[in-house]
Amino acid sequence: MRKSTANIMLVLVTIIWGGGFIATSTALDDLSPFTILMIRFLGAAILPIAISWKALCKLSFSTILKGLFCGAMLFLAFAFQTFGLMYTTPSKNAFLTATNVILVPYLLWLVLKRKPTGKEILASSMCVIGIALLTLKSDAVQINIGDLLSFICALFFAAHMIALEKAAPDTDVFAMTALQMISAGILSAIFALSIEGVPKVIPASASIAIGYSIICSTMLAYLLQTWAQKYTSANHASMILSMEALWASFFSYCFFQETMSPAMLIGATLIFISVIYIEYQPKKE
C-alpha cells in the first residue's frame, strides 16, 4: 500500500470520530461512561476475533503482549479523558486531548531516539495553535485537576500511536485490532462493573448511538488506523488524526447549529495547512 492511501484511511478515521462525538453525547444521556466503553470495545472485538481466529492462534507471545499493551494504552487514554471531562469543560478537554500531536515527536525522541525534524516541530506547533483556536473558549485560562487529567489522556493517546507503530507492521491487521479491543474491553469491564454496576437495560434511544460507536467509531476506525500505521509513522498519523477536532466542529455546526466564529475558521485552516505541510514532499529533479 502507498503512504498516500494510508493517509486517506486516517482522514476517513477522523471523519468517523468527528461523527462519533454526536453518538457518544447521545449515549451518555442513558448510560455511564465506563459502561459505554465496555460495550463499545467488547462489541468491536467480536468480528475481528472471528475473522482472525487462526492468525491469533499463530501469534508469538511477544506479539500478543504488544497488542494487549496497545489496548491498555487505549483504555487509559479514554479513562483519563472521561475523568478529565468530569472536572473541566468539553472544549478544554478536546484541546488538551489533541495536544498528543505535539507530544508524539518528543516521545519518539525519548523512547526510540528518533529526533524530530524542524518540519515536524513547526507542523505540530501550527496544528496545536489551530486546535486551540477551534476548540478553546474564553474561560480556558483557568487550570484545574480536570485539565491535568485531560493532558495525561493525551500522553496515553500518543503512547498508543507509538506502540501501534511498533506492533502493526508485522502483524495481521484484524488480529492486532482484536487484541487491542480485547485488552481495552476487559479493562473497561473491570471499572464499569466495579464502579457503575451491571446495566439492567440499554434504552432504545441509545441503541443507535451504541451501534455507531461499536461498528464505526471503534471497530472500523481502529481497523483503519492499525492498517494505516503499517505504512506511515506515528508522528504523521498523529498530525492527520488531529483533524478529528475539525470534523467534530463541522458536525456540531451541521447538527447542533453551533456557530463557527472567525477564530474557529482560522483554527480549522491552520490544522488543514499543517497536515498538508507535513505530508508535502517536493519532487526531486
Cα 173 to Cα 181: distance, rounded to the nearest angstrom:
12
What tens digit of pLDDT does each residue of 23-51 get? 666 666 677 788 888 988 999 999 999 99
The answer to the question of residue 60 being in a domain is yes
Q: Mean pLDDT lowest for which of 53-67, 106-120, 161-175?
A: 106-120
Would the pLDDT of 282 be above 60? no
Taking only the tens place, the pLDDT of each residue in 85-135 is 777 766 677 777 777 887 888 888 887 777 888 888 888 888 888 878 877
From the number of C-beta atoms within 10 Å of its C-beta (0-12, 13-18, 19+), residue 269 rates as middle
| 77 Cβ contact list (under 8 Å, min separation 6) | 153, 154, 156, 157, 159, 160
Average the pLDDT over 260-267 and give the result.
80
Three-state DSSP at 27 gives helix
Query: What is the domain count for the chain?
Result: 1
Give the chain's mean pLDDT. Answer: 82
At 128-159, the pLDDT tens digits run 888 788 777 665 556 778 788 888 988 998 89
- pTM over cut 0.85: no
CB contact set of 9 (below 8 Å; sequence gap of 6+): 224, 225, 227, 228
pLDDT band at 22 (very low <50, low <70, confident <90, very high): low
pLDDT mean over 200-224? 82
Residue 203, pLDDT above cutoff 80: no
The answer to whether residue 54 is domain-embedded is yes
Q: Is there a domain that residue 285 lies in?
A: no
Evaluate whether residue 255 is within a structural domain.
Answer: yes
Scanning the structure block, which residue is given the C-alpha cell 466495579?
194
Q: Is 150 domain-assigned? A: yes
Q: Is residue 270 part of a domain?
A: yes
Whether 187 is in a domain gets the answer yes
Dist CA 33 CA 86 (whole Å): 10
Domain assignment present for residue 157? The answer is yes
Residue-number span of the structural domain to which 54 is assigned: 3-279
